[in-house]
Structures are given as C-alpha cells and as structure tokens.
C-alpha cells in the first residue's frame, strides 16, 4: 500500500489525511523492479482539490462568467407557451445533439435559429460541461472577438499573437452569434483564419448563428457545410422572451410584459416579520420609487439580491408614468445589448443607430439588471456611452442591479456616485417567497 513520504505534526482539532499525514504526496509500495519505484505520487486527499483548482483556472480563462447559469438542466423545452409540435421537436433535438456533443466533443456543431430561440444557452451549456470535464474551453461572441482583435493588434504584438494562437488551438472553441459582426476586412480575415485552422486540424468547434448559411462568408460557409465534420441543427422555436418580430419593439414590449407591476400590488412583506433594518430598507426603496414616479428627476438606483422587489418597483415607475401619458423605456440590460448586436445582421429589420439613440435620449429610461451582462469591451463602451449622455443631459434614469458598485465599469460608477444627481437605495431583504393573495398587503399608488 502507499506509504507517506513525510509526517506532519498537528494540533488535535486538525483533520489530517491518515495516508499521507497531510503533506499531499507519498511513495507507493512497489517492488524495486517497478519503473515507478521511489517516485512521489499525489495522495487521493489532494486529487479532488487539484481537480477543482484546475477547473477554476479553466473557468477564469473561458469568458463564461456571465453564462454560468446556462446548463442543460436549466434549459427549458416544455416551459415555453404557444409552441407548436414541430417547434418543440426542434428544441428537443437541439438539446439532445448538444448533450451528446458536450459528453464527447468531436467535430463541429452548428446551432441555427432566430434570436432568442435558445442557441446561446445550449452553446454555453456545452462549454460549462466541458470545463467540468477539465477541457480547455473558450466562449466568445463573434462581435466581441473581433473587437478584441482590432483593439489588441498593434498595441502589443506579442500579446495579440499569443491570444490569437490560444484561440486557434484551444481544446474547444465556442463562437456565438456568427454573422452579427460589423467587421473590417482585416478582422474578417482573422476570423476566417481561426475557423480554417480548426477545420484543417479537425479541432472541436461550436457555432451559433441567426443567419442562413448562404448569408455567411463563402469560405466559412463551405467549411460549415462539410458533412464529414459539421452537424447542423436548426431550431424553429421563436424568441422565448417575446413574440415581437422587430428588434426595436423590445423597447416597447418589455414594459408590456410587466404591466401588472404597480405600487398598489407591491408586497411590503409584513407577514414575514423581517428584521427592523431589513423592513426599513424595503420601505425606503418603496417611498423613493413612488416619489420618483410622481416627479422623475435625476437618477434612482436600487441595489439588492434577486427577488427583493427591485424590478417590481422599477416597472411600477414605468407603468405609473405611462399612465400619466409619458412614453418611458424599460429594458433589461443583457437583452438590450443582445438586440443591439443583432441589428448588425443583414437580415435585421431594426436600425442600430435608431435603437441606440432612442435608448440614450429617452425622456425616462429604466435599465433593469445592470451588471448581469457579459463585460466585454464592446458592451462596456456602449453602456458607458448611454450613461455618459444621460449624465451630461441630466435625463431621468432608473437603474437596478444585483451586484455591487465595485463590479461596475469605473466610468459608470463615478457618475452614479455623484449624489447631486443620483440617489441610491439598497434593499437588504432576502429573496421574496410568494404568499397568498389574502396575505399580501397592498399599498396606495399615492
């Protein structure tokens, strides 16, 4: 049996591995003729720790932080309303193919379908699964990849070359939103070089696209159509977030989805007997939201964990102002960025400039879930441009976030810290658990 290569003295309360004495390495009990005789091996007590450490390193380089909740278990097929049998079957087939690819990443998997049909979720689930197996993985949206290539080239040639080679050679590469990029000839050539390299060396690749193959670059299309390497899966389900056909309608439809959120049906959660300080944070946020709805001035920021009521109060502000004849814009930040990216597609009915200008110049803008979006250079820059214009123009703005201020872009954070313009309210209550209607206290909208 293995014998410890060392001993380690400990106090009685410490837990020590009985095999290696806590040092993590040992000599195996082997005959002197064995080639491994005398060699140190890792003890089983440290193997799991080493695996977890390796997975953490892989996760940090994968660019998957914003997609960590996207797994096969969280992918819903039957939970979508109004789907036909064919649409459900396409989702089930896409899920099955993605699970098979995640279990044994070989060849290429091409996930095709309209915006919001579930392609990105499945691609991220594959990437998360492969990282759990210890496989080197990089997940990149194509517009962000090209932005990075453009910004890094010339600034540090060594850094660019190293990163470019890493992307070309990584065990698994996931390219999300192929075809939505607005690329220069140079960036398009680099993208082709990455795809062609992985094609030549038959390295695993996952691609998602909103486009038909004939709308893609001819050289890339020919490789995606190779039946010996690529499996193409078409998802016919519509956008799960809304039935709108025009991307810019997101700015109208998002508030319609929350039209039932009012100050009158906001729960103050008295039956839960929350601690006094917690209850007070909820009441302060409620009063601040009501006052802002009555007279929208400056910025209102609400912080707190998931399910604390931030979105309800933000939507209540929007619905109140809409009832007063205004035209507020309510939008979830990750959805806004996704729709802005989608306008780059040749098949998009929406204009990027029109949508972007509507958001940053809206008389009242409500941004929900700031900080949950992928923190890419492109996304950070677009959000900064929106906040900077609204800051300079002092346009009324409501923001909710589940993260801390330190996690936000420093340029945006500095504007939010200006207490001449922005008021902050932190809701420290735990996530809300629904009670019965009779238990739910109601508050006047006045």
Domain chopping of the chain, boundaries: 3-42, 57-235, 247-439
Dihedral sign for Cα atoms in the order 64, 68, 69, 70: positive
C-alpha 220: how far from chain center: 27
Question: What is the Cα–Cα distance from 343 to 351, expressed in whole angstroms?
Answer: 6
- What does the alpha-carbon distance between residue 357 and residue 130 come to, in Å, rounded to a whole number? 40
SS3 category, 387: helix
CATH code: domain 247-439 is: 3.40.50.300
Q: What pTM was estimated for this model as a whole?
A: 0.51
Class of domain 57-235: alpha beta
Q: List residues bridging with 108 in a β-sheet.
A: 205, 230
State how far the Cα of 412 lies from the Cα of 370, in Å rounded to an integer. Answer: 11
Q: Say if 57-235 and 247-439 have the same CATH topology.
A: yes
User: Helix H segments across 135-215?
Assistant: 142-152, 157-169, 185-200
Q: Where are the beta strands (DSSP E) in 279-375?
A: 299-304, 329-332, 365-368
* pLDDT by position in tens, the chain (length 446): 444 444 444 444 445 666 565 555 555 666 777 776 666 665 655 555 554 554 455 455 567 777 878 899 988 786 565 677 888 899 999 999 999 999 999 999 999 998 778 899 999 999 999 988 888 899 988 877 877 777 666 555 557 787 888 889 999 999 998 876 556 778 788 899 999 999 999 999 999 998 888 888 889 999 999 999 999 999 998 766 544 444 446 677 788 888 889 998 898 998 888 999 999 999 999 999 999 999 999 999 999 988 899 999 999 999 999 888 888 999 999 888 887 877 766 555 667 778 888 899 999 999 999 985 556 788 888 899 999 999 999 999 999 998 888 888 889 999 999 999 999 999 999 887 543 333 333 333 33
* Rounded-to-integer distance, Cα 331 and Cα 31, Å: 69
């Amino acid at each position: 049996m293995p014998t410890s290569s060392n001993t380690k003295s400990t106090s009685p309360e410490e837990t020590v591995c009985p095999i290696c004495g806590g040092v993590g390495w040992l000599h195996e009990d082997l005959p002197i003729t064995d080639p491994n005789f005398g060699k140190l091996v890792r003890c089983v007590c440290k193997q799991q720790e080493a695996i977890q450490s390796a997975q953490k390193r892989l996760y940090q380089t994968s660019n998957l932080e914003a997609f960590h909740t996207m797994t096969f278990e969280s992918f819903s097929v039957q939970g979508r309303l109004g789907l036909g049998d064919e649409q459900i079957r396409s989702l089930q087939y896409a899920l099955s193919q993605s699970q098979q690819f995640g279990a044994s990443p070989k060849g290429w998997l091409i996930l095709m379908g309209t915006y919001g049909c579930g392609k990105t979720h499945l691609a991220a689930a594959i990437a998360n699964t492969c990282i759990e197996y210890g496989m080197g993985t990089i997940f990149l949206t194509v517009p962000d990849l090209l932005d990075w290539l453009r910004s890094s080239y010339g600034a540090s040639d060594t850094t660019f070359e190293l990163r470019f080679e890493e992307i070309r050679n990584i065990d698994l590469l996931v390219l999300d939103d192929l075809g939505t990029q607005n690329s220069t000839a140079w960036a398009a050539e680099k993208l082709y070089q990455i795809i062609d390299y992985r094609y030549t060396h038959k390295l695993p690749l996952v691609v998602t696209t909103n486009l038909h193959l004939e709308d893609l670059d001819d050289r890339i299309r020919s490789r995606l159509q190779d039946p010996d390497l690529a499996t193409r899966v078409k998802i016919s389900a519509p956008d799960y977030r809304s039935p709108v056909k025009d991307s810019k309608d997101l700015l109208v439809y998002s508030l319609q989805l929350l039209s039932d959120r009012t100050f009158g049906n906001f729960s103050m959660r008295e039956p839960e007997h929350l601690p006094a300080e917690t209850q007070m944070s909820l009441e302060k946020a409620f009063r601040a939201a009501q006052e802002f709805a009555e007279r929208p001035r400056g910025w209102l920021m609400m912080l707190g964990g998931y399910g604390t009521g931030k979105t309800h109060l933000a939507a209540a502000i929007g619905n109140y102002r809409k009832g007063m004849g205004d035209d507020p814009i309510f939008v979830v930040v990750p959805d806004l960025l996704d729709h802005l990216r989608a306008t780059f597609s040749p098949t998009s009915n929406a204009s990027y400039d029109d949508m972007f200008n509507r958001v940053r110049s809206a008389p009242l803008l409500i941004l929900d879930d700031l900080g949950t979006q992928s923190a890419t250079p492109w996304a950070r820059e677009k959000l900064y441009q929106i906040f900077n214009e609204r800051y300079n123009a002092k346009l009324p703005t409501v923001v909710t976030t589940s993260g801390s201020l330190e996690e936000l872009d420093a340029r945006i954070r500095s504007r939010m810290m200006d207490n001449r313009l922005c008021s902050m309210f932190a809701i420290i209550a735990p996530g809300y658990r629904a009670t019965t209607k009779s238990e739910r206290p109601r508050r006047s909208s006045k």
